Amino acid sequence: MLSAFRYRLYPKTDQEKRLNRSLILLCGLYNDLKAEEMRRYRKDHKSTPKTMFRTFALNARKHDERLRDIHSQVVQNVGDRIHRSFRNFFEGRARFPKWKKPNRYNSLTFTQFGFRLNPEKGLLLFGLGYVRIFVHRPLLGRVKQLTIKHEADDKWCAIFITERDEPTGRPLTEIPITKIRGADMGLSSFVTFDDSTSAEYPEFLRRSEGKIARLQRHFMRKHKGSRRRRELGRRLARLHLHVGHQREDFQNKLVHRIFSENDVLVLEKLHISGMLRNHLLAKSISDASWNSFAKKASFKAKSMGKHLIFVDSWGTTQLCHNCLGWVPKALGERKHRCLSCGIDVPRDENSALLIKRLGILRSPTPDRGPSPAEQRPLPSLREVVSQRREAGSLPTQG
């Protein structure tokens, strides 16, 4: 599995100058390659393969001596980047690649060579010498790639991508039900678990979000191209970065806690693609949160040898976790009160319990014996309900 390790870098003034100059040069190269690709496409109606982009980039380095101060693989990586932008566009995942502005082009990537991490001296970078780096946690695995990034708050960081072996954890069949946690992602609280605990975004995060909204309104009122607007834009970018870090930190700690205490996490799968935007702002923010949370959970499960199970979200808000009766609720209703079995629990907890119930179907416990569940579609309440109806224990709706 691939993991990212991110460390703060502290370049000296002259090193910073050289890094900034490299970024400007690479940005120019990116735009040159884009222009070249547009010209070629107009002529031949064919997209250019990655190797050819790399060759173009290396040729540019041959003819421009300023680019020769930059490691050849870093230059070649610009070819990879422009190729990826066009491929994403042609395959419908992204919009047409933009012209990059120098202040937006803020990272450069070494693939194998041109850098070395020395615990005493720092990070050795091609053409720069040793740069001071703060390695706050050990770098694990085989390094595949290094990206040097200039953040919106003017800090520099080094991001190592490494390859690690996945630990083998307990097989699903040997995990007791008490170590399985069902989780419902909600609008009112971030996540609610089946054991009636929940996790909220901390107060400071909601405060920062309010601040962003306020600043955004000021920003929109300023004239385009004005000095005030530019300044506010920079402040907004810094704040967005800060909130992003806060959110990441909160979710990372939460995921870590879940998998330290449990072996299995069950989540419902959302059936929306990243490109689809919801017109309800709160909903679209929570969908985005769900996506990043699910990604982190999936990564953490792999790295800790735990399990993440997705289930179908159909019916998880309306059915009763106890008797599977249909208990319709409006969006604003926070309670789940079942008339047929008398259960009375908070709405989100009922959903979490249903989600866990589905997850258990997917992960057979020893007494039920192993089943070839791996290849089946997502476990769904549809199946459960229709099986019940066939068995005659649920009245069919007339």
**Footprint of Zn ion on this chain (CB under 5 A)?**
320, 322-323, 325, 338, 341, 343
Rank residues 298 and 322 by Cβ distance to Zn ion and give the closer one: 322
> Helix 72-90 and helix 50-63: axis angle, to 10°?
140
Q: What is the CA radius of gyration of the chain?
A: 26
Rank residues 205 and 343 by Cβ distance to Zn ion and give the closer one: 343
Rank residues 106 and 318 by Cβ distance to Zn ion and give the closer one: 318
d(CA 177, CA 224): 58
CB of 350 to Zn ion, least distance (A): 9
CA 348 to chain centre: 24
Going along the chain, which residue ranges are E strands? 2-10, 107-110, 115-118, 122-125, 129-134, 142-150, 156-163, 180-185, 191-193, 198-199, 264-269, 307-312, 335-337, 344-346
Helix (H, G, I), strand (E, B) or coil at 326: strand
CB of 392 to Zn ion, least distance (A): 18
CB of 156 to Zn ion, least distance (A): 57
CB of 316 to Zn ion, least distance (A): 14
Rank residues 325 and 364 by Cβ distance to Zn ion and give the closer one: 325
- C-alpha atoms less than 13 angstroms from C-alpha of 175 in its C-beta half-sphere: 24
Q: In Å, how far are 26, 271, 348 from 66, measured between CA atoms?
A: 10, 49, 59
For residue 176, give the amino acid letter.
P
- Check the CA dihedral 60-66-72-73 and report its sign: negative
Instruction: Determine contact, residues 180/359, Cβ cutoff 8 Å.
Output: yes
DSSP annotation of 77 reads H
CB of 320 to Zn ion, least distance (A): 3
Rank residues 114 and 325 by Cβ distance to Zn ion and give the closer one: 325
Rank residues 288 and 323 by Cβ distance to Zn ion and give the closer one: 323
Region of 213 on the Ramachandran plot (φ > 0 left; ψ -120 to 50 alpha; else beta): alpha
Rank residues 171 and 342 by Cβ distance to Zn ion and give the closer one: 342
Report the C-alpha dihedral over residues 359, 361, 367, 370, rounded to 10 degrees: -100
CB of 355 to Zn ion, least distance (A): 16
CB of 327 to Zn ion, least distance (A): 7
**Among 164, 114, 139, 154, which Cα is nearest to 7's?**
139
Rank residues 52 and 323 by Cβ distance to Zn ion and give the closer one: 323
Rank residues 270 and 343 by Cβ distance to Zn ion and give the closer one: 343
Instruction: Determine contact, residues 232/215, Cβ cutoff 8 Å.
Output: yes
Angle of CA points 90, 49, 148, to nearest 5°: 85
CB of 93 to Zn ion, least distance (A): 43
Helix (H, G, I), strand (E, B) or coil at 97: coil
CB of 388 to Zn ion, least distance (A): 13
Rank residues 291 and 322 by Cβ distance to Zn ion and give the closer one: 322
CB of 250 to Zn ion, least distance (A): 34
Name residues whose C-beta falls within 8 Å of residue 353's C-beta, 6 or more positions apart in sequence. 182, 194, 321, 345
